Amino acid sequence: MIPMFDNIRKVKDMLGSCECINIFSWAIFNDNDVETFNKHLRGLIEDSLGVKVKDVITMEKVKDVLGKSYGFKIEDEDFTTFINKETAFERYILQLVECGEVVDSVNMLIDDTVKDKRVSIVREGKEINIEFVKI
């Protein structure tokens, strides 16, 4: 089987009955990148996985949220140099939780560069899982 098609099948299996997803991509830094994603990839991903893309999270937004978490403004160069994808995703979700934002019970980063890992926290009686899945 062609690896890309095998990965699509694996991701569909992981998503189960999920109807929508958010996109967290190191390649989508700002709103211009979101426009490009929407024009060229959104439909392909939705059709291939059978889900709707609810939100595309820019790295600019992640950088701002993490800056609040760390207590200082993070410069673009520092963000991509000193913070890896796993750390950015985990800290982003944790900071949203700390700020009282509604966060899904399962937050999964599926990527070929991450190590399989799960972080679970409980806030106000609700378990929130942050999962990293290497594919």
Determine what percent of the chain falls in helix, strand and coil, rounding each to the nearest 5: 45, 25, 30
Asked whether the beta carbons of 133 and 110 are under 8 A apart, the reply is: yes
What pLDDT does 104 receive? 83
| Residue 3 clears pLDDT 80, i.e. is over it | no
Q: Is the pLDDT of residue 20 over 80?
A: yes
- The continuous run of DSSP H or E covering 38 comes out as helix 31-40
- Residue ranges per domain, the chain? 3-134
Helices (H) and strands (E) in the chain, counts: 6, 5
What per-residue confidence (pLDDT) applies to 106? Answer: 86
Q: How confident is the model at residue 7 (pLDDT cuts 50, 70, 90)?
A: confident
Q: What is the pLDDT of residues 68-126, one digit of tens each?
A: 888 888 888 888 888 899 999 999 999 998 888 878 888 999 999 999 999 999 988 88
Give the model's confidence band at 131: pLDDT under 50 very low, under 70 low, under 90 confident, else very high.
very high
pTM of the complete model: 0.87
Residue 56 β-bridge partners: 23
**Cβ–Cβ under 8 Å, residues 60 and 26:** no
SS3 55: strand
Secondary structure letter of residue 113 according to DSSP: S
